[in-house]
Amino acid sequence: MTPELDFYFTTIYPRCNITYSFLSSREGLIYPCHVIQLIVLPLQALTFYVILKKTPMTMKSMKWPLLVNHFWLLYKPDDPMCSFVDLLFCSLVTPYLYIRIFGFMCMGLLSYIGMAGSYIYVFECRSNSLQMNRFRIPSTWIRIVYHSSVYILNCSVFLVLFKSPEDQETAKLDALKIEPCPTEEFFKYDVFIPIADYEFQKITKRYIGPGLIFHVMFHILFHVICTVYYLFLTPNKVLSPETRRIQKKFFIGTVFQTTIPLAVLGILLVGILLDQITNSFTQGMVNLAIIGLASHGIGESLAVILVHRSYRRAVWELMTRKKIEKVNYSVKT
């Protein structure tokens, strides 16, 4: 801590009317997330296994998209001592965030990049598997270019790091002008301030962040609309009723599977937007939203297992060691 920060912490900071709250503290975030990790890792490993080994032929076109999507939700290191270089390799699940000053302590950062692209991949594959879809991408190379372009655009979020100040101690002093009474962790631990320019912070919050979110949602909704239109509204009459029934059931299951974790992520985003309007989102509420985000792996894994009958059957057989009779449908989805 520099002499300036030390002076602020010992002289000015005590005047802040802040009462200690375990939920607002660093430990109040780390401990619940560690408990969640103990619960979610075996469940996610089980989900990875059933997707890899128990995906039936009727779902084979979605096997790898589901694996890719699940992989980005599976890799979640939460080392409390993460260096600046490690930031690029962490998956954003348990950051201690100061949302008003764009500051955080790196305790594992959510890989928005990979996760957002994996959701697009899931729905694009579902839409692309419909032969009657005039917007499907038949060429493998074009699909590679498409998904690579989406990924690269998502990576633009890291451009803010090129604007990050080299003198972090001075950046922290400037941040105190915006948020004069942060929690004690701001002074006691290495808080990284990626954007010190207040005007650029506002541009990021109002335009860049929402723009990237809109970009991802546009692609997801486009493929969802194509699937709904060609599967439900104008179904291919060449397909048998049983094939259409299986396709519809699987699509509905995929929607439920992806909606649960996205809804949890939405809690944090809504909280940030509300804070922009009311300036009332406390650090405890931020930590609670992050804990909810860290638990999305539980919801995602349960959704994968519960919404798809073949995975439910596989897990039941593993638990009871009883073989369940299957009805094989030789249909292509």
| Contact indicator for 121, 147 with CB cutoff of 8 Å | yes
Give the C-alpha separation, 97 to 206, whole Å: 18
Specify the higher pLDDT residue, 323 or 110. Answer: 323
| Contact indicator for 35, 298 with CB cutoff of 8 Å | no
pLDDT at position 84: 35
| Contact indicator for 242, 331 with CB cutoff of 8 Å | yes
Report, as an integer, the average pLDDT of 83-88. Answer: 36
Quick: pLDDT tens for 59-81: 676 777 777 666 655 444 343 33
| Contact indicator for 48, 300 with CB cutoff of 8 Å | no
Quick: pLDDT tens for 190-217: 888 888 777 887 787 778 877 887 888 8
pLDDT band at 154 (very low <50, low <70, confident <90, very high): confident
pLDDT at position 13: 92
Establish how many alpha carbons lie within 13 A of residue 144's alpha carbon, considering only the half-sphere containing its beta carbon. Answer: 3
Q: Which two tokens stand for residue 214?
A: 């809109």
pLDDT band at 107 (very low <50, low <70, confident <90, very high): low
| Contact indicator for 41, 73 with CB cutoff of 8 Å | no
Q: Helix, strand or coil for residue 168? A: helix
- Angle between helical axes of 241-278 and 209-228 (0-180°, round to 10): 160
Residue 114 has pLDDT above 60, yes or no: no
Give the C-alpha separation, 136 to 288, whole Å: 41
CA dist 5 to 47, 171, 289, Å? 47, 11, 29
Report, as an integer, the average pLDDT of 114-137. Answer: 76
For the domain bounded by 26-312, which CATH number is listed?
1.20.1070
CA 87 to chain centroid, in Å, comes to 16
Per DSSP, 109 falls in state B
Quick: pLDDT tens for 4-28: 899 999 999 999 988 888 989 888 8
Report, as an integer, the average pLDDT of 34-40. Answer: 78
Give every CB contact of residue 25 below 8 A, 6+ residues apart in sequence: 183, 185
Quick: pLDDT tens for 228-287: 888 888 777 767 777 777 777 777 777 776 776 667 667 667 777 777 777 777 888 888
Torsion over CA: 282, 283, 284, 285 (sign): positive
Report, as an integer, the average pLDDT of 312-316. Answer: 86
Q: 259: closest CA among 215, 194, 304, 292?
A: 304
**Phi, psi for 75 (deg, rounded to 5):** -85, 105
Torsion over CA: 152, 154, 158, 160 (sign): positive
Residue 91 has pLDDT above 60, yes or no: no
Per DSSP, 325 falls in state P
DSSP H or E segment with residue 207: none
Place of tokens 């520099």: 2
Contacts 24+ apart (CB under 8 A), 310-313: 310/54, 310/55, 310/56, 310/58, 310/59, 311/47, 311/50, 311/51, 311/54, 313/54
Give the C-alpha separation, 232 to 245, whole Å: 10
pLDDT at position 332: 43
Give the start-to-end residue ranges of the domains of the chain.
26-312
Q: Which two tokens stand for residue 235?
A: 């179904």
Give the C-alpha separation, 280 to 286, whole Å: 11
| Contact indicator for 95, 106 with CB cutoff of 8 Å | yes
Give the C-alpha separation, 219 to 216, whole Å: 5
